[in-house]
Chain A
Amino acid sequence: MNAQSTEIATYNFAYLDEQTKRMIRRAILKGIAIPGYQVPFASREMPMPYGWGTGGVQVTASIIGPDDVLKVIDQGADDTTNAVSIRAFFKKVAKVAVTTETAKATIIQTRHRIPEHPLNAGQVLVFQVPIPEPLRFLEPRETETRKMHALEEYGLMHVKLYEDIAKHGRIATTYAYPVKVEGRYVMDPSPTPKFDNPKMHRSPALQLFGAGREKRIYAVPPFTDVVSLDFEDHPFEVQTFDQPCALCGAANVYLDEVILDDHGGHMFVCSDTDHCEKRRADSTSPSWGGRAKGADGGNGQSSLSSTPTPARRADPRHKGEGKEAE
């Protein structure tokens, strides 16, 4: 792909200038070489506010090439504001092909979810990270948290998880659940639900994390141990849902609660829109068989016709509904 001669003036390919890309690329390589370590980088201002994925966008812009196929998700969805605008951004500044299909993408930029479809070895998952430092809310000083990482001093994090147990009887952290990478660095997996933590463990895909405002890049190479912190008597466990997706009937996926009206009507649907649409388009597809079973009792077609009607209740009880296994 050469410079577009039809345009009078245009941004450099993928928006960033080459020196910025080189600086970010060097940070990415160091991040891969030191899994879980937050590499400082000279984050640039991007044409979007902090909190909208400036870190992820800079990482994507630095790795993307004309042959890449980009997918962008926001809380699992391809069609929400953040995903739509970032996808449009790269369509404009890099003229790359975009997709909503997880399996067809070479780069997936994500805000707070890991797709349900298993990732493969050629794919790169780019996370948008608001607060990269897992110890920040326990110790506000950067000088101190840096020393804690240097000395592998993570006692404070275990105290925090213990206090959860003392107060709530269980570890109450449900997202941004701290992990230990390759037995060394404690890392914030970004505010993904802890449901997604096990997918990071020995994933065949390369995982890159960009925090624009906090100016940090970190990485988890493929096939790297990512272990959620826990205690022997309070082992790590993921959220479970007591009902399947109301649209596609999938069980063992992460569900979003959708409010339907102001009378307490609501339904739980797949957070991963691509996964849900695929299943509804072809609920007998063998690739979904393992997950579909149990949701629709092995009877693929019936789940489509008998989509559950949303429950109507006068008295909405939302106390941890569907969020936590007791």
Chain B
Amino acid sequence: MDIATQSIDGGFAEPVFNAQVVFRAIMDAMARPGAVQDVPQLTRPPAPLSATAAAAALSLCDNDTPVWLDPPLQAEASVKAWLGFHTGAPMANTPADAHFALIANPKEMAALDGFAQGTQEYPDRSTTLIFLVDDLASGPSLLLEGPGIEKTSMIAPPGMPRHFVEQWKQNNQRFPRGVDIILAAPGSLACLPRTTRIKTMEA
């Protein structure tokens, strides 16, 4: 399949209703950090972009939101063409310009504080990071607490960034500034808003 066809195929079959389903899953996940929300496979994006991450991008991104791609996604012209065709979102020049960042390889990604953090007056002007992860249960366990969580919540995404717990603690300390993360796994997603604290677990 050539790039032109690849960039057109595989979007939402029913844009209005599909976008609503995906948004509600993200909203519920953001409101209940660590709770896993199911997302049906609604998109068929070119690799290495995953269906869930692509669905999140299609439901949230448009020409108002510069998107930053990490090097593995950046390297695929078909990914850029697909996102460009379906969302119309411009590519951000630097992570600090991005409203959304799609990260196919969180393990190797740049530091969280390199992305837009918002300002003290406008903390909403920050980057929302969409991590592509293999699942939400096979990595090191993260014990979560904070708004949206009744007592504690647990999630275990594999392949998270280096020193993630320490980086996330710094992200907490910047509140109300900071980044929010959408963890997009096959068939499901979960969120870590900037208010969520990771309780360190020994061994």
Contact = CB atoms under 8 A, between A and B. Distances in A.
Interface of A: 1-2, 12-13, 18-19, 21-23, 25-35, 37, 39-40, 62-66, 121, 146-147, 149-151, 182, 184-185, 204, 206, 219, 221-225
A222 B147 CA distance: 7
A223 B153 CA distance: 12
A146 B28 CA distance: 28
Interface string B162-188: 000000000000011000100000000
A66 B17 CA distance: 8
Contact of A184 (B59, B60, B176): B176
A206 B99 CA distance: 24
A18 B147 contact: no
Given A32-B193, A184-B175, A223-B148, A63 B23 contact: yes
A223 B32 CA distance: 9
A223 B147 contact: yes
Contact of B27 (A1, A29, A66, A151): A29
B31 A25 contact: no
A35 B27 contact: no
A18 B149 contact: no
B31 A37 contact: no
Interface stretch (B68-76, B106-114, B118-126, B133-141): B118-126
Contact of B195 (A21, A33, A40): A33
A28 B180 CA distance: 13
A150 B119 CA distance: 9
B24 interface: yes
B23 A25 contact: yes
B124 A30 contact: yes
Contact of B17 (A1, A31, A121): A1
B180 A33 contact: yes
Contacts of B123: 34, 37
Given A22-B60, A30-B124, A182-B147, A65 B17 contact: yes
A1 B59 CA distance: 18
A37 B176 CA distance: 9
A204 B35 CA distance: 14
Contacts of B16: 12-13, 18
Contacts of B124: 27, 30-31, 34, 37, 39-40
Interface in B58-101: 59-62, 64-65, 99
Contacts of B27: 25, 28-29, 32, 63, 206
Given A150-B120, A223-B150, A34 B23 contact: no
A13 B194 CA distance: 32
Given A33-B195, A65-B17, A223-B147, A146 B31 contact: no
B60 A26 contact: yes
Given A29-B26, A39-B124, A150-B121, A21 B19 contact: yes
A149 B193 CA distance: 20
A30 to B, nearest CB: 4
A26 B65 contact: yes
A152 B147 CA distance: 19
B40 interface: no
A33 B60 CA distance: 15
Contacts of A28: 27
B128 interface: yes
A200 B14 CA distance: 36
B128 A29 contact: yes
A178 to B, nearest CB: 18
Contact of B194 (A34, A40, A146): A34
A146 B118 CA distance: 14
13 contacts: A13-B16, A13-B17, A18-B15, A26-B65, A31-B124, A32-B31, A32-B148, A33-B195, A34-B175, A147-B121, A149-B121, A222-B31, A222-B147
